Chains A and B, each alone.
Chain A
Amino acid sequence: MAKNVVIQRSVRASSADSLNRYAIHTADLENGSIFTLSAYKTDAGYGEVWTAADTTATSKTVWMAYSPENVVVTDDNGNQYLGLTKDPRAFTNIANVPFDCFMLCNGDIIEMTGANIADISISDYLVPSTTKALVAATSAGSGVYLKKVKTNRLVIGTGDIGGGATVTTYVYQVVVE
């Protein structure tokens, strides 16, 4: 199943170190997953790594997973391999491995393919859920929400005739009320 592909079109985290952190979670998390960070991981060697926790529907301080898309492929025996594919739709942040994230700020512009977000094409908003996922909604939430501002496209070189797969993307403005 294809994973979400995220592009930071214009975000405050580009200019502020404090808006970028390392996080870790016990399960795989796609780029574009959201969570709260309230505590460092306490194990030795993880001094600057935060533990990702679930959001709520009213969460206002929300972080989004966003790591470079270096795809790890895992075989049936649990062996992991890098460099087998460049397709970003195969990328996910691996469980129990630190990954990059940034804080969503008012006015940020985020673009994503929205894979695995049901009804994203027909909904104008993305709001936090009680898990680490954004969900499509027809109205704004009461915490952080993402408002769709346009539809775009992303061409990924798949080898298919025509120059690659043209994937619809959705561009959102982050609103923190």
Chain B
Amino acid sequence: MNNLFNMVFADNASQVEQARSLMKDYMNHYFSETRGIKGSFDTTKSLEEKNATLSKLMCATVERLSGVNMSNTGISAEIIANNPNVRWASMATINSLIDFVMPTVLVNGIGTYTNVVNGGAGDSFTFDIKPNDLFTVTKAGRNKRTGEVQRGFDGTKTIIPVNHQITVGCNLYRILIGLDNFAEFVLKAIVSMEAEMRLESYNLLNTTLSALATTPSGGALKVAGFTKSSAIKLANIVKAYNNGSKPVFLGTLGALADMTAEANFRYTEDSDLFKLGRFSNYAGFDLMEIEQVAKWNDKYKLALDDEKIFVVSPAAQKLIQLGYQGSTMENASDKFDYANGQQTLTINKAWGMAVATNATAGVITLG
């Protein structure tokens, strides 16, 4: 996917670098203002100014790729916009930016428990999974040349990607004459797909861990209700069975806020509990907040479960594997394809995900 980005912007190396840098800066700035996610960006320019700069670069790229001079030709912009080369170049630019930006955006959201891998068109994904186990040691005498043979076996997990699609009403003429903002359109498509991926990944994590048995038999990975002792015990189980990789308590703010202190605990206004609404560290284990996702089809409800706290080791093998298949593919309608003059743009992105790990994780259910 980086190759696609390079090919689109590769008039020369400096132009590639400029495009990457501008897009990253814009993205960090956008997420800082809209989600409070920290990232480095140029603070001397406003988001609107960066919007305009990025749109100008994208239009210049479309001109270069299409080989069509879109200014000072005496031909109206409306007719130029219908040029097949111009339409192709616009979509190639959008696709390359989506493929460039998406992995970075996702890592910020679900990177604690999801690993992203890239494949080509038509690829499926195979993961060889090592067993999380140790061999048994026996006391021995001196005169036997070998002990009894023990063996270990890897397993295999596969992922078949599924196509995902967004169709939006997009007017190319309005984009090229500045009535619709090119950069915002790209970002909205990225945000939509990113939200969907985050939701799919979270739901997979939630469903899998919720299915763990609660019946303790020396230890359980699913604990009902929060208590200090049970939370610490669960974190230590996960740590021990991940070979010492320290876990974090992972959940939405609504869930993490339920990790309460003991009775009569006092805190000041400058404490994390007051400022963040939750602890940032509990009994030596960090708390990591998952951003809530809007449930757009059920207004003002939230998609992520506020009644679950997950215990995962970020440094151990990621619990979920997310495989991208190929590059983003678009399907743009022609000017008069629709009887009612509608123009549509469909973006196709294929991905698949599955729990494929040799790590241990746990869950605390609050409700």
Contacts and interface: CB of A to CB of B under 8 A. Distances in A.
A154 B149 CA distance: 13
Which of A155, A159, A163 gathers most chain B CB within 10 Å?
A159
Which of A10, A85, A109, A162 gathers most chain B CB within 10 Å?
A162
A91 to B, nearest CB: 10
Nearest to B361: A161
What's the dominant secondary structure at chain B's contact region? loop
B126 A164 contact: no
A163 B359 contact: yes
A7 B156 contact: no
Interface in B200-215: 208-209, 212
Interface string B148-160: 1111111111100
Contact of B153 (A84, A87, A159): A87
A84 B156 contact: yes
What's the dominant secondary structure at chain A's contact region? loop
A161 B359 contact: yes
Contacts of B154: 86-87, 156-157
Interface residues of B, number: 34
A84 B157 contact: no
Interface stretch (B45-53, B257-265, B276-284, B349-357): B349-357
Contact of A84 (B126, B130, B132, B209): B126
Nearest to A154: B153
Contact of A164 (B132, B146, B361): B132
B358 A164 contact: yes
B241 interface: yes
Contact of B132 (A5, A8, A88, A163): A163
A163 B358 contact: yes
Interface in B90-134: 126-133
Interface of B: 126-133, 146, 148-158, 208-209, 212, 221, 241, 319, 354-361
Given A86-B153, A155-B132, A161-B319, 13 more contacts: A7-B150, A9-B148, A155-B131, A155-B152, A157-B128, A157-B154, A157-B155, A159-B129, A161-B355, A163-B131, A163-B133, A163-B360, A164-B133
Interface of A: 5, 7-10, 69, 84-88, 109, 154-165
